[in-house]
Amino acid sequence: MTNHLATQASLYLQQHAQQPVDWYPWGAEALALARRLDKPILLSIGYAACHWCHVMARESFSDPAIATLINEGFVAIKVDREERPDLDMVYQMAHQLLRRSGGGWPLTIFLSPQGMPFYSGTYFPSAAPEGQATFRSVLGSVSTVWSEQRPALARQDQALRLALAASQPQRDDQAVLNAAVQTQARQQLATAFDARHGGFGAAPKFPQPSELAYLLHLSQTDGQTQARDMALFSLRKMSEGGLYDQIGGGFFRYSVDAQWQIPHFEKMLCDNGVLLALYADAWALTGEPLFRRVVEGTATWALREMQADTGGFYASLAADDTQGREGHFYVWPSEELRQALSSQEWDVCAAHWGLVDAPNFEGRTWHLRVARPAAQLAATLQRPQALVEELIASASIKLRMARDQRDPVPRDAKVLTGWTALMITGLVRAARVCQRPDWLKAARSALDFLRQQRWAEDGRSSGHLQTLPGQAAFLDDHAFLLEAVLALQEADPQPQDLPFAEGLALAMLAQFEDRDRGGFFFTRHDAPALIHRLKPGADAATPSGNGVAAQALLALSKQVAGPQAALYRLAAERCLRVFAASVCADPASYTSLLRLQMLFNK
């Protein structure tokens, strides 16, 4: 049996094509069906590398009894959030307003046939302790509410529309982004800073690269030693923990504990592109060998495992192996490690990677972390540090070779324009500080692919960019790609770079800028309307599209002359002004825009 997902290009949608749930992709057919049948929509949003998405798929969406409840009571729509970040962003925001809690994946959200959400959650278990909601009970409750409480739902819809509208940035010319706002941002981050383990907040702990990049920038611009110390300490702790793949390079998505020991094991291209650039900046600032090792490991991983023959970069590696076990590709039983290493390597690496400590993964195996740095081991063992580092390096090579014999984790081979652009920028920044022309060449190859395959001139004032073949690009695709072109143009200038940058800038201004108030919408002016049109300014796992767009336009304005320079600078200024009140209210959430303000003041 197949449903309506079998012909979809998305790997994530294909993974659900054989399920008994009668899934539809998002589109006119499914929405019209819901309206015709007057049925609520079950919208499930996830992505191929997501562990809990696959857990819910196995537990609930593959269960014929649960599928029957879904098929009888709902029109079921499945969305890949990497293909449709616009849908994901607007319904994540709606979920947070409905539930007063954070979002995540899978996002499970129930909509009216008109697309308005009225109940939501993330992962719902198929079985739960008494008193906790199971997915089956949620389906029953939602069906009851839909059939019996329509007037209340209509009132909730109106309240939600008003709340979504209120979330838009409102220009306030009394809001001034001055030094006091920068100080407030630093103090906010200092309050959230984990002085013992680095990073911000408690578990689950995300890298938050935009905030760390801001602190590094602040330290270099204003000499803020506290900002510098918070950023560098966090970067050290992240790279020494299990968040970083000590054997294969690259970063996992986030840590489930505050110590950075055990991650959720998916590896996302977007995270690694941003972190590669950040660690390259840290290496350039400090010259610390640890940061260079991370830069080399992350860049090498990206080129080895993520770059397509076309030059673009794949989206992600899954958290689960082919048997559905999270992390098992990356963790080690003690005996397998002993067999792979020489006695000298074992003596050093068992202490270095924490193998002399209790197992840290599911009580049976080890996920490797730097428990004792090489310098500390050298002093303890009374051996030269260079010898200890040599043994760690040789052991790493052996373990990667042994790990490569395992069944590989699934890879989502979609090549997203914006995420590839983030990796281009990371590679360029890394190549410059590490003197690696091969990384620069790889970045150029990726840019050539995007320019040739995803960009088309339309013969008028602006061209058209695609995020995937046949799919119009979003703001982030334009902003991140413009940033990448300018980075390459500075490091390795080619005649086509500046014209391409101007084409992207003009397309972004024509297709996304709010001409009345300033700033940029996430979707094009001619995109099909959703329940709300977002103009996001806050940073998330990736930097704010508005922040990056405005920074890139400001940089471009300094490379051209005449009216075009003024046009780009004015757009960047308008973007900063429309978000000024939002930034003043919560500066630490808008660090990309705070960096923009600092660039204007230079």
Are residues 470 and 396 part of one domain? no
CATH number at residue 71: 3.40.30.10
Q: 273-282: per-residue pLDDT in tens? A: 999 999 999 9
Q: Identify the domain boundary among 117, 142, 166.
A: 166
Q: In this predicted model, which residue has the larger pLDDT, 25 or 321?
A: 25
Residue 391 forms part of a structural domain: yes
Are residues 142 and 16 part of one domain? yes
The per-residue pLDDT for 101 is 85
Tell which phi-psi region holds residue 257, choosing left (phi > 0), alpha (psi between -120 and 50) or beta: beta
Cα–Cα distance between 516 and 314 in angstroms, integer? Answer: 37
Q: 302-348: per-residue pLDDT in tens? A: 999 999 999 999 999 999 998 889 999 999 998 999 999 999 999 99
Are residues 397 and 489 part of one domain? no
Q: Say if residue 43's pLDDT is above 80.
A: yes
Cα–Cα distance between 90 and 281 in angstroms, integer? Answer: 33
Q: Say if residue 156's pLDDT is above 90.
A: yes
Average pLDDT, the chain: 96
- pTM (two decimals): 0.97
Please say whether the beta carbons of 94 and 21 come within 8 A.
Answer: no
pLDDT band with cut points at 50, 70 and 90 for residue 131: confident
Residue 22 forms part of a structural domain: yes
Are residues 124 and 28 part of one domain? yes
Q: Say if residue 41's pLDDT is above 80.
A: yes
Residue 74 forms part of a structural domain: yes
Percent of the chain at pLDDT > 70 equals 99
Among 69-73, 404-408, 520-524, 564-568, the minimum mean pLDDT is found in: 404-408
Q: Residues 158-174: what's their mean pLDDT?
A: 94
Q: Going by C-beta distance under 8 Å and a sequence separation of 6 or more, which residues neighbour residue 555? A: 486
- From the list 420, 440, 422, 421, the residue with the least C-alpha distance to 430 is 440
Cα–Cα distance between 532 and 93 in angstroms, integer? Answer: 10
Q: 282-306: per-residue pLDDT in tens? A: 999 999 999 999 999 999 999 999 9
Q: Say if residue 1's pLDDT is above 80.
A: no
Are residues 460 and 393 part of one domain? no
pLDDT band with cut points at 50, 70 and 90 for residue 460: low
Cα–Cα distance between 373 and 348 in angstroms, integer? Answer: 10
Residue 211 forms part of a structural domain: no
pLDDT band with cut points at 50, 70 and 90 for residue 93: very high
Please say whether the beta carbons of 481 and 466 come within 8 A.
Answer: no
Q: Say if residue 358's pLDDT is above 70.
A: yes
Q: Identify the domain boundary among 138, 166, 194.
A: 166
Residues in the chain: 602
CATH number at residue 337: 1.10.10
Are residues 474 and 398 part of one domain? no
Q: Identify the domain boundary among 136, 166, 196.
A: 166
Q: Count CB-CB contacts under 10 A for residue 89.
A: 20
Residue 243 forms part of a structural domain: no
Q: Residues 471-475: what's their mean pLDDT?
A: 98
Task: Give me the domain span that covers residue 335.
Answer: 330-405
SS3 229: helix
The per-residue pLDDT for 458 is 74
Residue 282 forms part of a structural domain: no
Cα–Cα distance between 382 and 13 in angstroms, integer? Answer: 56
Q: 383-408: per-residue pLDDT in tens? A: 999 999 999 999 999 999 999 999 99
Q: Count CB-CB contacts under 10 A for residue 163.
A: 15
Cα–Cα distance between 140 and 195 in angstroms, integer? Answer: 46
Are residues 19 and 77 part of one domain? yes
Own/partner long-range contacts of 523-527 (Cβ < 8 Å, ≥24 apart) = 523/86, 523/474, 523/475, 524/472, 524/474, 527/86, 527/472
Are residues 504 and 587 part of one domain? yes
CATH number at residue 542: 1.50.10.20
Q: Residues 74-83: what's their mean pLDDT?
A: 98
Q: 232-276: per-residue pLDDT in tens? A: 999 999 999 999 999 999 999 999 999 999 999 999 999 999 999
The per-residue pLDDT for 461 is 64
Are residues 129 and 29 part of one domain? yes
Residue 4 forms part of a structural domain: no
Are residues 144 and 27 part of one domain? yes
Residue 306 forms part of a structural domain: no
Are residues 527 and 400 part of one domain? no
The per-residue pLDDT for 102 is 86
The per-residue pLDDT for 400 is 97
Domain count, the chain: 3
Are residues 466 and 394 part of one domain? no
